[in-house]
Amino acid sequence: MATHETASAALVKTRDSLDKDQFMSKKSIHAALLVPFLMAATAAMAGPDHGSGSVGEPGKASNVTRTINVDMTDNMRFTPADISVQQGETIRFVVKNSGAVKHELVLGTPAELKEHYAMMLKMPGMEHADDNMVSVAPGKTGEIVWRFTKSGKVDFACLQPGHYDAGMKGLVTVAQRAGQKAEPAKSDGHGSHKH
Ligand SMILES: [Cu+2]
């Protein structure tokens, strides 16, 4: 009967490990469900996506091609409010707050800025920080290093409550680089030559 016993033991063992497997897979399912939930929660806490891809990308300090000084005042104005750059340029914005209240410079599409501003109105005093923006205390200077990857217009604004409504906004015009297509990443270059 040794064979039978062994077989039973094996059967028990198999069922045991099956239970364990089932338990493990349940755990895995929980983990799998939890991850997107956590990601959604994190995204919600982080607020609207700044969509850095649509207006450019964080720049590297070592790639800075030009420094542009921007002044912010309690008149709710940026000086200059109209800035011209070349596609592909990495700009260091040195942003000075000459006012007596906090101001900030946030780069984004009009839709992103409006969405972010609406959130700032709901949560006044909210601290926020990202690569595409800088909040500057009165009398202080801050910096943004940003690479403008696409030609077109990139808006910027101060999203402190009331400031955007008062007209504290500006525009970066990104000129298309000569010989560069609007979407260079999508071209493999095979259209222009024969094999
Ligand atoms: Cu402001």
Q: Calculate how far, in angstroms, residue 139's C-alpha sits from the geometric centre of ligand 1.
A: 13
Q: Give tens-digit pLDDT for 102-152.
A: 999 999 999 999 999 999 999 877 788 899 999 999 999 999 999 999 999
* pTM exceeds 0.85, yes or no: no
Q: Give tens-digit pLDDT for 58-115.
A: 999 999 999 999 999 999 999 999 999 999 999 999 999 999 999 999 999 999 999 9
Q: Calculate how far, in angstroms, residue 76's C-alpha sits from the geometric centre of ligand 1.
A: 6
Q: Calculate how far, in angstroms, residue 135's C-alpha sits from the geometric centre of ligand 1.
A: 9
Q: Calculate how far, in angstroms, residue 103's C-alpha sits from the geometric centre of ligand 1.
A: 4
Q: Give tens-digit pLDDT for 6-50.
A: 444 444 444 444 444 444 444 444 444 444 443 443 343 444 444
Q: Identify the H or E element spanning 174.
A: strand 169-175
Q: What is residue 63's three-state secondary structure?
A: helix
Closest CA to 65 of 94, 90, 93: 90
Q: Calculate how far, in angstroms, residue 165's C-alpha sits from the geometric centre of ligand 1.
A: 10
Q: Calculate how far, in angstroms, residue 86's C-alpha sits from the geometric centre of ligand 1.
A: 26
The dihedral through the CA atoms of 120, 121, 122, 126 has a sign that is: positive
- The alpha helices in 88-194, defined as continuous H runs, are 110-122
Closest CA to 170 of 92, 101, 84: 84
Dist CA 164 CA 39 (whole Å): 30
Structure tokens at 151: 């030609």
| Residues composing the chain | 195
For residue 176, the one-letter residue type is: Q
Q: Calculate how far, in angstroms, residue 77's C-alpha sits from the geometric centre of ligand 1.
A: 8
